[in-house]
Amino acid sequence: MALNVLSLFLGLSIIFLTTSSLAQKIENDSLSVSVGTGANISSNNFLPFYLVHNQWGMVNEKSNIFTTIKLNYEYLVKSDWLLKVGLRSRNSILATYYFQTTYKSIDFILGAEPKIIGGLDTDLKINHFGLSSNALPLPMIKFRLNKFVPVAKTRNYIWIKGELSHGYFESNRYMSNARLHHKNLYLKFKLEKLIGFNLTTGFLHFAQYKGSKPFGLQKANKPNSFWDVFMIREQNYEFDSQTIEENGNGNHLGMTEIIIDRHFNEHHLSLNYQVPFENKEDIKLINIKDFLVSLNWKLPQKNEFVKELQIEYSQIKFQDGAGLQQPTKNYPTVYNNSKFGGRNDYYNHWLYRSGFTYHNKVLGNPLISTYQWTQNFIPSYQTYGFPVINNRINSIHAAVSGQLSKKIAYSLFLTSTLNFGTYTGLFEGLDNWEGTIDDPFFDYPFKGGKWQHYSYLSVEIKDINNFPILITTKLAFDFGDLYTNSGLELCLSYIVKTP
CATH number of the domain within which 440 lies:
2.40.160
Question: Is residue 211 in a domain?
Answer: yes
Count of the separate structural domains present in the chain: 1
Question: Is residue 463 in a domain?
Answer: yes
Q: Provide the domain limits for residue 194.
A: 121-133+149-498
Question: Is residue 45 in a domain?
Answer: no
In 3D space, the residue among 188, 99, 173 whose CA is nearest the CA of residue 139 turns out to be 99
Question: Is residue 444 in a domain?
Answer: yes
Question: Is residue 293 in a domain?
Answer: yes
Q: What is the pTM of this model?
A: 0.89
Question: Is residue 274 in a domain?
Answer: yes
Q: What is the pLDDT along the chain (499 residues), one digit of tens a residue?
A: 555 555 555 555 555 555 555 444 456 889 999 999 999 999 999 999 999 999 999 999 998 999 999 999 999 999 999 999 999 999 999 999 999 999 999 999 999 999 999 999 999 999 989 999 999 999 999 999 999 999 999 999 999 999 999 999 999 898 888 999 999 999 999 999 999 999 999 999 999 988 887 755 555 555 457 777 877 776 554 443 333 343 345 688 999 999 999 999 999 999 999 999 988 888 999 999 999 999 999 999 887 899 999 999 999 999 988 877 665 555 555 556 665 667 889 999 888 889 999 999 999 999 999 999 999 999 888 898 899 999 999 999 999 999 999 999 999 999 999 999 999 998 888 777 777 777 778 889 999 999 999 999 999 999 888 889 999 999 999 999 999 999 999 999 999 988 7
Question: Is residue 67 in a domain?
Answer: no
